[in-house]
């Protein structure tokens, strides 16, 4: 499952540079699938929906840092544990129950993001 950042976030920014998928953004900042990945042009999400990888999307949060679930792989294939959770001083990077994924699904997502 993807990781989410809870409302307890203190906006320290420690998590953002640790994400190998560039899935973490500062509150209020637009995001794109292409940011920090090799994805370009039309991109098919894991649920089958298609989006333009270069399209700027509305921020998921305006007040705190946030994680884009479609880019989060829980660091599978990169690290033993999610790096955002490892560096968060207030333990606000937690599993997001709304996005249940197996290790194999997370690894497949990683491969799609970094061809």
Question: Tens digits of per-residue pLDDT, 67-79?
Answer: 999 999 999 999 9
Question: Tens digits of per-residue pLDDT, 40-53?
Answer: 999 998 889 999 99
The pTM for the full model equals 0.95
For position 107, what pLDDT does the model report? 96
- Residue 94 pLDDT more than 80? yes
Domains in the chain: how many in total?
1
Give the whole-angstrom CA distance, residue 110 versus residue 115.
9
Task: Domain of residue 21: give its range.
Answer: 1-115
Q: What is the mean pLDDT of residues 44-66?
A: 95
Residue 76 is part of a domain; what is its CATH number?
3.30.70.20
- Residue 1 pLDDT more than 80? no
- Residue 115 pLDDT more than 90? no
What CA dihedral angle connects 63, 2, 70 and 23, to 10 degrees? 50
């Amino acid at each position: 499952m993807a990781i989410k950042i809870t409302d307890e976030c203190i906006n320290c920014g420690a998590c953002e540079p640790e994400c190998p998928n560039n899935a973490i953004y500062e509150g209020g900042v637009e995001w794109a699938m292409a940011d920090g990945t090799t994805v370009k042009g039309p991109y098919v999400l894991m649920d089958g929906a298609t989006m333009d990888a270069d399209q700027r999307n509305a921020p998921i949060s305006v007040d705190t840092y946030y994680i884009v679930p479609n880019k989060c792989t829980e660091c599978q294939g990169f690290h033993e544990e999610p790096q955002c959770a490892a560096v968060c001083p207030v333990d606000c990077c937690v599993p997001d129950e709304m996005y249940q994924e197996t290790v194999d699904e997370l690894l497949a997502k990683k491969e799609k993001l970094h061809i």
